[in-house]
Amino acid sequence: MFSRSLALLGLAAASGATLTSSLLDTADSVLTEFRSAVLNDTGIRYVKNSGVCETTPGVEQISGYIDVGTNMSMWFWFFESRNEPETAPFTLWLNGGPGCSSMIGLFQEHGPCLVNADANSTYLNPYSWNNVSNMIYIDQPIGTGFSYGTDTANSTVAAAGPVWTAFQVLFESGLFSKYASREFVYGTESYGGHYGPAFTTYFDQQNAKIASAHLPVVTGVPITVAALLINNGWIDPLIQNEAYLTFAQNAPGYGQLLSNETLKNISAALYDEGGCVDQEKACYAAGNLNASADTVCLNADNYCGNYVFSPAVGNYDPYDLRQNSTAAFPPEYYVTYLQNPAIQKKIGAQVKYEECPDAPYYEMDNTGDDAKTLLPQLGALANSGLRILIWAGDTDIICNWVGGHEAILAMDWYGNETLHNTPLTNMTLDDEPIAQIQNVDNFTFARLFGAGHEVAAFQPKAALAIFTQVIAKEPLHSV
């Protein structure tokens, strides 16, 4: 599914690690290499200030590869904050899929530039999130986007380790060590409803091991996620599959989407004996620990996809109900741009760009990962007091806001009852309603008006305002 979507100097010096520079085949760019002295077969190969995308004077950018293991090269693109980079947070953005490139977020949503219709030039994005934060976009799992090599991620949990390793290497290097002490913000979307809770939980577990010296590498750098933002996330498949019917019956603000006959068929596929709900419950009961459980979950995912999701979408664009299946927004100009050999040389890319290749998707899909719930992990994070924003554009079908809202209402955490008793209230920007919101302590839910699956593509000004409030540790409020 596309983006469910079917859619650092102190440690380097201490360790004796070195930086070596060489002029390689990257047009006018200098490709610099750092090899880790702590983790075997890891390092960074990068280009600084390629002149591509971010052209704001004085704002640094770095693009290239983090080698996270033997034949495992993970693409990254970093942009310094346009304002107060010395103190601004450090934000990671990961798109979903599974297996969809984070260049989607960079070039279609909230990166420093957007690509013109000629697919050969860019213009600055005034609503880029690097207005207020240092931003890093990473293509993962391996094989996604510009990443290349051996993909070992056959589940959400398995995908967390290489991303953790990537930041260990980044923070070991003199290039990124200064960001290790910054507030670490994690933004994601769609299948990020799986990635977000799982990766944050994994980071917390690794931090605990470092603190107790149980890691083989006791010099590991703790990575404490200060805020988690999940946009149109695929969190709990049981609840969100049921919401395909609820949303099609009456999409708030847009009415009934499908015929009564189609709705009846979807209802039967959900609730008849052996249907989607029964199969999802069987998947949840099977757990995540063996191949037979994977088969149960894969069967559930295939059934629900064929007989619930597909008919619920019908002839609509699954990412924006206002468009049909041949939707043109957001445009794909950036793909052609990134496949231009001249651009690839400038930024240091070594392979042809693929937005959502099949291989990493099926590596996860074949284990039934899509049908498994991450709601318990999200609930535990909310219970810990982590700042969390669950937000969704209200014209998205595939990860619609109704299903996302029902999922968080079912979440087991100390604020459950309060959240149920907190009404959705309007948030305005320049006196115009942009969202309905619920704030409970550090947890917020927001429904964004007139936005599809990629919220910041449809409502860039509103998305930046909300992102700015979250990283400023403010409950969402009108401005």
- The one-letter amino acid code at 60 reads E
Among 171, 164, 228, smallest CA distance to 202 is for 164
Burial of 309 (0-12, 13-18, 19+ CB in 10 A): buried
Strands (E) across 118-248 are located at 122-124, 134-138, 148-149, 184-189, 225-231
* Count of residues making up the chain: 479
**Is residue 120 within 8 Å of residue 137, measured between CB atoms?**
no
Tokens 């995540």 map to which residue?
288
Q: For tokens 């959900």, what's the residue?
A: 270
Q: 19: which residues sit within 8 A by CB, 6+ positions away?
A: 12, 32, 33, 34, 173, 174, 175
AA identity, residue 180? A
Owner of token pair 């009852």 = 417
Pick the catalytic residue from 81, 194, 396, 405. Answer: 396
> Contact 136/91 with Cβ under 8 angstroms?
yes
3-state helix, strand, coil in the chain (%, to 5): 40, 20, 40
Exactly one of 173, 190, 301, 405 is catalytic; which is it?
Answer: 190
Reply yes or no on whether 190 is catalytic.
Answer: yes
Task: Give the C-alpha separation, 319 to 269, whole Å.
Answer: 22
Catalytic residue flag (residue 420): no
Alpha-carbon span 342 to 289, nearest angstrom? 46
Question: CB under 8 Å, gap of 24 or more: what pairs does 463-469 form?
Answer: 463/109, 463/110, 463/127, 464/110, 464/127, 464/128, 464/129, 464/131, 464/132, 465/429, 465/434, 466/389, 466/391, 466/435, 467/110, 467/129, 467/132, 467/133, 467/187, 467/229, 468/131, 468/132
User: Is 5 designated active site?
Assistant: no
Which residues is 90 bridged to in the sheet? 134, 184
Q: Annotated active-site positions, please? A: 190, 396, 453
